[in-house]
Structure 1
Amino acid sequence: MRLTQFTDYALRLLIYAAAYSDRLVTIEETAAVYGISRNHLMKVANLLTRHDFLRAVRGRTGGFMLARAPESIGLGHVVRSTKPDFSIVECFGDTYQCRLTPSCQLKGILGTALAAFLNEMDRHTLADLVLNPAQFGIERPAA
C-alpha cells in the first residue's frame, strides 16, 4: 500500500497545524519547513478545509488552524478523504480487462490487506502524531 503524495502532504500539514495550535500557520511557512510546493500545498489545504479538518482565515494576516481537536481527527478519515481511490490493482477499478478476474484470488487477498491497513489507520488520531514545535528543527518560523 502506498499513499499518494497528496495524502502524505495532508498528514504533514495537519501535523504542523497541530504543533502550532496556539496560532494561525501559513501555507508559505509550512511549504518552507517541509520543502514542498506552495501551490500543491494550497490544494491540500483547500481540501482539508472543505472536509472540516482545517479552518482557514483569509486576508493579509490569515492562515489556517485545526478545525477541531487532534483527538477527533481520525487518520483513517484523513486517508479516505484525500485518496481518490484504492485501486491497488486493475481489478479494483471499474474498467478492468484482466482475463483472470472471474477466478483470481488476488483481489480478495489484496482487499483484506487494504481493509487491515484502513482498520489500523482508524485506530489512530492526529493526537498520536503531534510534535513539539522544536521537533521541526526550526526556532520559530516567520509568520
Structure 2
Amino acid sequence: MRLTSFTDFGLRALMRMASEPDRAFSTADLADEFALSRHHLTKIMSTLAQAGIVATRRGSGGGAILAKPAHEIRLGNIVRLLEAGQPLVDCFQVSGGTCTVTGCCRLKSRLRSAEAAFLADLDRSTLAEVALPPMERAVSA
C-alpha cells in the first residue's frame, strides 16, 4: 500500500507536534523543518483541524496544537482521514472505476481484506508512540 504525500506530510507534522504538545507550531515553521510546500501543508492542517485532531489559533503566538493528547489519537484514524477519497485501486471508487474485469475478479476482495488489515494494525498504535524526539533548542548565553 502506498500513502499519498498528503498523508505522509500530515503524519510528519503530527509526529512533530506530538513531540512538544504544549507548543503552537506555525505552518511556516513545520513546512521549513520538513522542506514541504507551505500551501500543501496549510490544506493538510485545515483537514486535521476540521476533524478535531488539531486546534488552530491566528495571530501572535498562534499556530496549531494537538486538540487532544497524542495517546488518544489512533494512527489508523489519521490515515483514514487523510486518505479519504483516495481508493487503493480504481475499482474501489464509488463509481466502480474503469475496471474491465468486474464480475469475474477474484482480487478485489483480497485487496479489501489487506487494506482493512493495514488500517487495523495502525489502529493499534497511537500518535504518542511515533512522536519525534523533541528538537534541541539553541540556548543563548
Paired residue type of 1:42: T
What's the counterpart of residue 70 of structure 1? 70
> Cα distance 1:86–1:114, how it changes in 2: closer, same or farther (>3 A)?
farther
Contiguous gaps of at least 5 residues in structure 2: none
Q: For each residue in 1:94-129, what CA deviation from the matched residue of structure 2 results, as whole angstroms up to 9, or x when unmatched? A: 143433211110101111111110111111110111
What's the counterpart of residue 24 of structure 2? 24
Please give the secondary structure, in 2, of the residue aligned with 1:133.
Answer: coil
Q: In structure 1, what is the Cα distance between the partners aligned to 2:66 and 2:82?
A: 16
- Deviation above 3 Å: which 4+ runs of structure 1? none
What's the counterpart of residue 12 of structure 1? 12
What's the counterpart of residue 41 of structure 2? 41
The normalised TM-score by structure 2 is: 0.89
**Mean Cα displacement is larger for which, 26-35 or 14-23?**
14-23
Paired residue type of 1:99: T
What is the number of equivalent residue pairs in this alignment? 137
Paired residue type of 1:9: F
Contiguous gaps of at least 5 residues in structure 1: none
What's the counterpart of residue 131 of structure 2? 130
**Mean Cα displacement is larger for which, 3-12 or 16-25?**
16-25
Q: In structure 2, what is the Cα distance between the partners aligned to 1:87 and 1:63?
A: 31
Q: In structure 1, what is the Cα distance between the partners aligned to 2:60 and 2:26?
A: 11
Q: In structure 1, what is the Cα distance between the partners aligned to 2:98 and 2:18?
A: 44
Q: For each residue in 1:3-29, what CA deviation from the matched residue of structure 2 results, as whole angstroms up to 9, or x when unmatched? A: 111111111111111112232111111
The normalised TM-score by structure 1 is: 0.88
Deviation at 1:139, TM superposition (A): 3.4
**Mean Cα displacement is larger for which, 93-102 or 23-32?**
93-102
Q: In structure 2, what is the Cα distance between the partners aligned to 1:25 and 1:97?
A: 42
> Cα distance 1:64–1:96, how it changes in 2: closer, same or farther (>3 A)?
closer
> Cα distance 1:86–1:38, how it changes in 2: closer, same or farther (>3 A)?
closer
